[in-house]
Amino acid sequence: MALRPERMSKVSVVGSKRVIDDVVEATYEHHSLHVTDYDDRYEGFSPGESLSGAESVNERLVTVRALGSILDVEGDELDRAGSLDDGELTVELEALRDRVNELDDRRDDLRAEIRDREEEIERMEPFAELGIELDLLRGYDSLEVAVGEATADAVEDALETAADVDAFEVFAGGDVIVAFAASAGGADDGSLEDALVGVDFALLEVPDADASPSEYVAELERERAEFAEQLDEVEAELESVRDEAAGFLLCAEEQLTIEAQKKEAPLSFATTENAFIAEGWIPTSTVAEFEAAIADAVGDHAEVEELERASFTPDGDHHSEPVEGGEGGAGHASSSADATADETAEREAATDGGHASAGGDDPPVVQKNGNAAGPFESLVQGFGRPKYSEFDPTLLVFLTFPLMFGFMIGDVGYGVLYAAIGYYLYANYDGTFREMGAVAIWAGLFTILFGIYFGIDVFGYHAYQLLGLKWEVGKGLSPADTSWALAWLTLSVLFGIVHLNVGYALSFVTNLQQHELKHAMYESGSWLLLLNGLWLWIFSKHLLGAKPAFLFDSVSVISLGAITFTGLPVGVGFAGLAAAAVGFLLLAIGEPVEIAEALSPIVNVASYARIMAVLLAKGGMALAVNLLAFGAYIDDGGAGSFHFIFTASKLADVNGTDGYQLVFTGLSAFADLTPVGIAAAAGAVVIAVAGHVVVLLLGITAAGIQAIRLEYVEFFGKFYEGGGDPYAPFGYDRQYTSDE
């Protein structure tokens, strides 16, 4: 584990175009070169072209992916492994495409037929409710007919008052109305339509069918059922094809993807008529292996040269350290590529004697944090992948995030569940879910440890009472341990001071490497002096009466009286103020616009009080659930700890014992063998289970979000920006095929 990413080197591979296929193959199999794209900036060079056959490979790859989409192949259906012969792949793919396309077309046709029938049924249902033969709704010479959705009373009222309507009849069936009307003598056609202008009348088109509406609907439903049955048969056949062909498609897609990447690799190269140059980044530790791999593949027809090694400087761009003995360039490489002398001179002129640079020259980032801290990279990348020039804070997040989370929850029961959930994710998923599972396991383990420390706290119940133990440490919720609440506030503040010191120290080192000591003092040293100077004064005896007493008493509380702290000497307080004044002066000289933020070290540290706040909030919620379910009492005249009441007999003992004070009567106190007592017992169980599930979930959001916030805002904000490029080596991690 380290605070820096893996060291990267810039390399070039220069060779004759006669061996470009072999170089691509060797580079692909070595799977270590992060290729950078040539950006066409240099005269005499041009971007390369895809290798022969790329178009055919891409066409087949598109076909494979389309078939996989049609068959809904997800990746867990592999029934074959190994490589596919190109001829075998082509023949089998062609046959599978014809079969699947035929079935897919048939499925689309059947779905269209079913959709048409459903639309026609929907159109006919109003007429079926009406119960009038369709031929009676059209074809009249002297009558006008209107069919639609309306209110019968409104239609009748409109027709009653219409001067151009001589006679009418209205029939209703559900929401559908049919109106027959005879026009008055001399009235024009359209009298019925004119009469209904003021009525909310949604016209329906009368279907052109001879059967009765109910018969017609029945026929449509029969046809729909037949098409649905045929569709089921086609779906079953496609499912059968999927079972047969899924393994082939997975292997074919992977094999064609690999082949397509190889064919298109020269698009990132710089080329002339006879030679090529490929550049990229590679972990420094693997340069020798990469050189050997290329030499084994093509001998002296291509050469690998380590051009530079990127150092860890924080100026936003990598600083390249030249490699001793490197001749750097296309001119040097031309001889190994058997290129002509003219081409050699052309390349030297184009690059001013150096190598042909490629675009995207910032080194990619390979984080190396080991198995334990590795999963916490996902939390860091949630803020932003570290730049190559930055410190990688993953190790520090690994050391602090589970600690903060576990302290804020501090319960054995919840910790076991968090760890169990994490183990399930870790064991059953890959990628981000697996990493989150590992994070949850660590968070759960620390939650268990702090739960034991807080009195063997199990779902808000202090189990040490059942074990007959005497326990001094508490969360600060019961009358016996209220002093602990303020002690945890002080401890949260102290943790914040240490956490921020680490952040400012990393910022100081960063600025020192980038510039000089003076700049580092202006940028970071000023904040270190302000942070530590102000808090040294706060914890000193100077103006002791104006400061909260718990800041000093907490040391005795946490140490169980073994250590007494009355404050740092007054001289230390004055020294702290002097250091803060120096820090303010440095800030005013180097960063005058930040003078307004001079007190932010106090504000930032106070922000860590949320650790204590979440601890009390989650503990209080668990206590509230237990009070509702079981009730509680305190002893020693109100100065003792909470004790839960699980039975009616215990409630009677509490009420009959001097020195016991009833706090709350929970449902379990009414439990007995009567119907009411059984219901009370069941209610207590339901409240306890549901309540603790809610606390469990809120613990994830509250403790998790607050811990992440302290990492991202308070800690990262002091030294970290993120925005690095991920390491994407040329190659492929095979899953379904072999490289044989």
Average pLDDT over every residue of 463-491: 87
The answer on 234 and 105 residing in a single domain is yes
Q: What is the pLDDT of the chain when averaged over all its residues? A: 86
Q: Of 525, 489, 506, 498, which Cα lies nearest the Cα of 399?
A: 498
Q: Which two tokens stand for residue 522?
A: 């202006």
pLDDT reported for residue 84: 78
Q: Is the pLDDT of residue 330 over 70?
A: no
The answer on 226 and 105 residing in a single domain is yes
Residue 640's pLDDT band (boundaries 50, 70, 90)?
A: low
Q: Of 290, 293, 292, 302, which Cα lies nearest the Cα of 336?
A: 302
Q: Where are the alpha helices (DSSP H) in 162-212?
A: 191-195
The answer on 312 and 275 residing in a single domain is yes
Residue 14's pLDDT band (boundaries 50, 70, 90)?
A: very high
Full DSSP string of 606-650:
HTTHHHHHHHHHHHHHHHHHHHHHHEEEE-GGGTS-EEE--SHHH
Percent of the chain with pLDDT over 70: 90
Q: Which two tokens stand for residue 736?
A: 């379904």
Determine if residue 53 is left, alpha or beta; phi over 0 gives left, psi from -120 to 50 gives alpha, anything else beta: left
Q: Of 663, 641, 660, which Cα lies nearest the Cα of 472?
A: 641
Last-in-domain residue among 206, 233, 259: 259
Average pLDDT over every residue of 392-410: 96
Each residue's pLDDT tens digit, 485-544: 999 999 999 999 999 999 999 999 998 888 889 999 999 999 999 999 999 999 999 999
273 vs 302: CA distance, rounded Å: 15
Average pLDDT over every residue of 421-434: 94
Residue 293 lies in a domain: yes
Q: Of 175, 168, 172, which Cα lies nearest the Cα of 193?
A: 168
Percent of the chain with pLDDT over 90: 54
Q: Please tell me the number of Cα atoms within 13 Å of 43 on its side-chain side.
A: 6
Residue 622's pLDDT band (boundaries 50, 70, 90)?
A: very high
Looking at residue 174, which CATH number applies to its domain?
A: 3.30.70
**Count of domains observed in the chain:** 5
Residue 608 lies in a domain: no
Q: Is the pLDDT of residue 476 over 80?
A: yes
Residue 230's pLDDT band (boundaries 50, 70, 90)?
A: very high
296 vs 298: CA distance, rounded Å: 6
Residue 311's pLDDT band (boundaries 50, 70, 90)?
A: confident
Most confident of 237-246, 426-435, 525-534: 525-534
Higher pLDDT, 55 or 354: 55
Average pLDDT over every residue of 337-362: 40
Residue 504 lies in a domain: no
Residue 593 lies in a domain: no
Written as one letter, the residue type at 227 is F
Q: Where are the alpha helices (DSSP H) in 429-563?
A: 432-453, 482-514, 517-520, 526-538, 550-558
Residues with Cβ within 8 Å of 270's Cβ and at least 6 positions away in sequence, in order, are 38, 42, 45, 46, 47, 48, 276, 277, 278, 279, 356, 358
Residue 414 lies in a domain: yes
The answer on 106 and 225 residing in a single domain is yes
732 vs 657: CA distance, rounded Å: 75
Each residue's pLDDT tens digit, 42-80: 677 788 889 889 999 999 999 999 999 999 887 765 655
Task: Report the first-to-last Cα separation within the chain, whole angstroms.
Answer: 35
The answer on 300 and 426 residing in a single domain is no
The answer on 161 and 98 residing in a single domain is no
Looking at residue 37, which CATH number applies to its domain?
A: 3.30.70.2170
Q: Of 252, 247, 238, which Cα lies nearest the Cα of 64?
A: 252
CA 169 to chain centroid, in Å, comes to: 66
The answer on 182 and 331 residing in a single domain is no
The answer on 188 and 307 residing in a single domain is no
In the sheet with 143-149, reading across from the earlier edge strand, the strands are 165-173, 176-183, 143-149, 202-203
Residue 383 per-residue DSSP state: H
Most confident of 195-199, 204-208, 222-226: 222-226
Q: Please tell me the number of Cα atoms within 13 Å of 479 on its side-chain side.
A: 15
Q: Is the pLDDT of residue 332 over 50?
A: no
pLDDT reported for residue 550: 92
Q: Of 474, 493, 496, 494, which Cα lies nearest the Cα of 485?
A: 474
Neighbouring-strand partners of residue 276: 15, 271
Residue 476 per-residue DSSP state: S
356 vs 347: CA distance, rounded Å: 8
Residue 42 lies in a domain: yes
The answer on 331 and 253 residing in a single domain is no
Written as one letter, the residue type at 550 is F
Residue 157's pLDDT band (boundaries 50, 70, 90)?
A: confident
Helix (H) or strand (E) holding 280: strand 275-283
Q: Which two tokens stand for residue 656?
A: 């009959």
Most confident of 46-50, 329-333, 475-479, 718-722: 718-722
Residue 178 lies in a domain: yes
pLDDT reported for residue 343: 38
Using alpha carbons only, what angle is made at residue 451 by residues 450 and 455, rounded to the nearest 5 degrees?
A: 110
The answer on 251 and 199 residing in a single domain is no
The answer on 171 and 155 residing in a single domain is yes
Each residue's pLDDT tens digit, 648-705: 888 888 887 777 888 888 888 888 888 888 999 999 999 999 999 999 999 999 999 9
Residue 187's pLDDT band (boundaries 50, 70, 90)?
A: low
206 vs 147: CA distance, rounded Å: 8
Strand (E) positions, 92-164?
Answer: 143-149
Neighbouring-strand partners of residue 626: none
SS3 16: strand
Q: Is the pLDDT of residue 336 over 80?
A: no
Report if pTM > 0.85: no
208 vs 134: CA distance, rounded Å: 8
Residue 281 lies in a domain: yes
SS3 312: coil
pLDDT reported for residue 172: 84
Residue 176 per-residue DSSP state: E
Last-in-domain residue among 429, 453, 477: 453
The residue assigned the tokens 């106090």 is: 602
The answer on 438 and 380 residing in a single domain is yes
Last-in-domain residue among 434, 453, 472: 453
The parent domain of residue 252 ranges over 59-112+221-259
